[in-house]
Amino acid sequence: MGAAVELVRAGPADAETVALIVNAPGVVERWTAVAVDELIDDLAIDDGTYAAYLIHALGEVVGMIQYGVEADPQYRHAGIDVAIRRAWQRRGIGTDAIRTLARHLIADMGHHRLVIDPASDNAAAIECYERLGFRRVGVMRRYERGPDGTFHDGLLMDLLAGELL
């Protein structure tokens, strides 16, 4: 439970809702379009390496947030991805959702390091992550293929457990 959000674990039955979020205008420009049937298997994972949550605010599903774990003990950490519906962007929802998930990953799951990797030109996301204590590590050149089919730079950011604001 965050200050303004509640994170509710998403399962296979929520695949259509998750697809609607990530494929919506204002989100799909930063995410690869995803089909419902592609999400069902991911949302069924229950081994501690991945989880997705619906973000609820004011009685409405306003986005989704997920984590993935690098399980190798030498490099163990978790990565976070978040998608907020356009009408709810720039209202503190993403900040609260990330802080809530980060606290869970650190306090309950024992992670000492978290990473997030926005597109290098996504200034609003980068500002949000920096407000939480994430630091810029470096630019990953031609890191991900965008919806336009070309590769774009990503910014690797990380946060150590004691740095969460």
pLDDT value for 147: 80
Q: Give the percent of the chain with pLDDT over 90.
A: 81
Average pLDDT taken over every residue of the chain = 94
d(CA 22, CA 52): 12
pLDDT value for 82: 97
For residue 26, give the H/E element and its range.
none
Class for domain 6-163, per CATH? Answer: alpha beta
Confidence category of residue 129, pLDDT binned at 50, 70, 90: very high
Write down the pTM of the prediction: 0.93
Q: What phi and psi, each to the nearest 5 degrees, are found at residue 107?
A: -75, -40
Identify the bridge partners of residue 115 per DSSP, sorted by sequence position: 79, 158
* Residue-wise pLDDT tens digits, 34-61: 888 888 988 998 888 999 999 999 999 9
pLDDT value for 137: 98
Cβ contacts of 159 within 8 Å, gap of 6 or more = 102, 113, 114, 115, 116, 132, 133, 134, 135
pLDDT value for 13: 95
pLDDT value for 19: 93
Cβ contacts of 22 within 8 Å, gap of 6 or more = 28, 31, 33, 34, 64, 83
CA 110 → CA 39, 48, 104, 106, distances in Å?
A: 27, 12, 9, 5
Going by C-alpha positions, the residue among 153, 150, 146 that lies closest to residue 119 is 153
